[in-house]
Structure 1
Amino acid sequence: MGYLLLSIIALCAGILGSLVGLGGGVILIPATLFFGINLGFFPDITPQRVVGLSVIMMIFIGLSSTISYMRSKQVDFISGLIFFIGSAPGTILGAWLNKGLDIDSFNLYFGFLLIVLSTILFVRDKLKPINWFIDHGLKRSFTDRQGQSFEYGYPIWFAVLFSFFVGMISGLFGIGGGSLLVPAMVLLFRFPPHVAVATSMFMVFLTSLVNSMSHIYLGNIPWHYTIPVIVGAYVGAKLGSALNKRLKSKTVVLVLQIVMVLIGIQSILEGLF
């Protein structure tokens, strides 16, 4: 029963993570902690082990999504590699910081993070892109299937610095980093939304490879739970990528915002009391 439940959780995480570029950890981590610790389905789970499990899952969400988005030529590989230069050392630092968190501290900080991320998702469509970054950095272009052209860009130094911070959050909480990176790509660097999501999933894949090595070294991977999570996440990411190409994701993002706020409040309350 526990393995089936993990597969379903990972399937949902893969769908939502790939659809809006979040990586999926914001679904897997609170759900696994709730069913594992509160309901006793996974009695051996800890904050460190669930983050390690999330990191393994995101390798396959990132890989599955990247392959799908490559076929529609939505991935900006050059930008993804530049962001990866900063995020890789950030994930190592985050994984090291994670080992000092107990369950109450993890729930408290993770809850605040979810509320911050849901707020970012809520306001990202209401904010106007900032032109300074595209005017003072590397310029990129993209033409969609309808023939519409987009110009976007960023200072490389700022992209590396920002992605280091994103990588640190990813390594600390196992959430993938896309929840911070995608809004920044759209608002600060004027990425087309679909390119931002696709490029974010490519970077999630690369970052998760480095992040997983850190957590393997620290002994944070519950290997007996990885197979159902990998299968569910890979299939879910395929479905999420297909939906991304056909649907407007605003409704899904709204639902995700509400879920993240509710989970965030619950995590904060559990951390405090």
Structure 2
Amino acid sequence: MWEIIGLVALGLIAAVFGSIVGLGGGIIIVPVLILLGPELTGGAIDHATAVGTSLAVLIVTALASTLSYTKQERVDFRIGWLLFITSGPAAMAGSALTSKLQGDVFLLVFGGFMLLMAGLLVARDYMRPSARRWPVSRTYVDGQGVEHEYGFSVLPGLLIGFAVGLASGLFGIGGGSVFVPVMVLMFRFPPHVATATSMFVIFLSSILGTGVHAAMGETDWLLVLALVPGAWIGGRIGAAIAGRMSGKALLWLLRVTLILLAGRLILEGLGYF
């Protein structure tokens, strides 16, 4: 019973964080399943299964968030579908590569990636959006009636979509930690629009990535069932919170959490645990 409660809580907490900043929650679920697998399930969970399971849960988290953001009219579907052109195939490629990395190598690479994500989350508070005029111009009117103008370019966008999809499939995470800062800084996306559109792209990509992991037998469906209830509720809670606050305190909590988890993964990969 306590194991089930722990898994539901994990899905809830990860989804709340993920939805607020567009990460998707996998950045929390994967390392926790790897590091605390014996305590949560009674047995060790290998990295490929943790990734495949997280990606399946990510479908639910991203769908819940996307539905909430759609009601708030914050998802740029046109750009989201365009990004999916590269993020979808990349998610499948990343999923196929996960099991090719040995356990220790995966821990080191994933730990390094988490540190990079924490750095991006910090850097975006101190960097100014580009003033460049892009070929495609878009506008968004927020809840206060303020109009925001942002841009887009197809080729850089497709490259961003590829990076998001590859990270999603390889690590079982949303990739929003790459998507959101880049879209805000490069294309001047309003942060709420970047986060909402990120969750939509993650939803589409995670479906294809999950299909590959499932076909390779790298998805624990019982774990998915335990994590899904919390993920669904957390995805909607996170989207609601993101619409009412800047989330700066939660962002700092997430940054610290990422750094601590990354440090533990790297030390584990180096054989210190």
Following the alignment from structure 2 to structure 1, what is the Cα–Cα distance between the partners of residues 189 and 135?
14
Give the match for residue 100 of structure 1. 100
Whole-Å separation in 2 of the counterparts to 1:46 and 1:218: 14
TM value normalised by structure 1? 0.96
- What displacement does 1:205 show? 0.7
Specify the alignment match of 2:188 in structure 1: 190
What letter matches 2:102 in structure 1? D
What are the within-5 Å matches in structure 2 for residues 186-225 of structure 1?
186-225=184-223
The answer to whether the 8 Å contact 1:6/1:32 transfers is no
Distance 1:42 1:116, change over 3 A: farther
In structure 2, list runs of 5 or more residues that go unmatched: none
Give me the whole-angstrom Cα distance separating, in 1, the residues matched to 2:95 and 2:50.
12
Deviation string, structure 1 residues 118-175 (Cα, Å, up to 9, x no partner): 000001011011133xx23221111112111111112111101221122111111011
Cα deviation 1:202-246 (Å, max 9, x = unaligned): 111111111111111111111111111111100111111111111
The letter of the residue matching 1:75 is V
Q: Show the counterpart of 1:160.
A: 158
Task: Work out the CA distance in 2 between the residues paired with 1:221 and 1:41.
Answer: 14
Q: In 1, are the aligned partners of 2:122 and 2:255 still within 8 Å (CA)? A: yes
Secondary structure at the counterpart of residue 100 of structure 1: coil
State the partner residue of 2:126: 126
Q: Over aligned residues, Cα RMSD in angstroms?
A: 1.2
Which residue of structure 2 lines up, in the alignment, with residue 68 of structure 1? 68
Which amino acid counterpart does residue 68 of structure 1 have in structure 2?
Answer: S
What is the distance in 2 between the residues matched to 1:141 and 1:260? 33
**What whole-Å deviation, never above 9, does each CA across 1:234-263 have from its counterpart, x for those lacking one?**
011111111111122111111100110111
2:201 maps to amino acid: M
SS of aligned partner of 1:51: helix
1:13 touches 1:24 (CA, 8 Å); kept in 2?
A: yes
In the alignment, is the contact (CA less than 8 A) between 1:47 and 1:101 conserved in 2?
no
Secondary structure at the counterpart of residue 116 of structure 1? helix
1:9 Cα deviation after fit: 0.5
* Structure 1 residue 44 displacement after superposition: 4.8
Distance 1:125 1:181, change over 3 A: same
The Cα shift of 1:40 comes to: 7.0
Report if the CA contact (8 A) 2:12-2:230 is conserved: yes
Q: TM-score, normalised by structure 2?
A: 0.96
Quick check: 2:134–2:187 contact (8 Å CA) kept in 1? no
Q: Which of 171, 174, 181 in structure 2 is aligned with 1:176?
A: 174
* Corresponding residue for residue 21 of structure 1: 22
Does structure 1 conserve the Cα–Cα contact (< 8 Å) formed by 2:52 and 2:172?
yes
Alignment of 1:240 with 2:238, yes or no, is: yes
Q: How far apart in 1 are the matches of 2:135 and 2:210?
A: 32
* Residue 81 of structure 1, CA deviation: 0.7
SS in 2 for 1:203: helix
Partner of 1:252: 250
CA distance in 2, matches of 1:168, 1:131: 28
Instruction: Give the partner amino acid of 2:203.
Output: F
Distance 1:110 1:42, change over 3 A: farther
CA-CA distance at 1:103 after TM superposition: 2.0
Matches of 1:226 and 1:116, distance apart in 2:
27
Q: CA deviation at 1:72?
A: 1.0
Q: Which residue of 2 aligns with 1:143?
A: 141
In 2, Cα distance between equivalents of 1:171 and 1:131: 33
Aligned to 1:271: 269
The answer for the alignment partner of 1:117 in structure 2 is 117
Aligned partner letter, 2:73: K
Number of matched pairs: 270
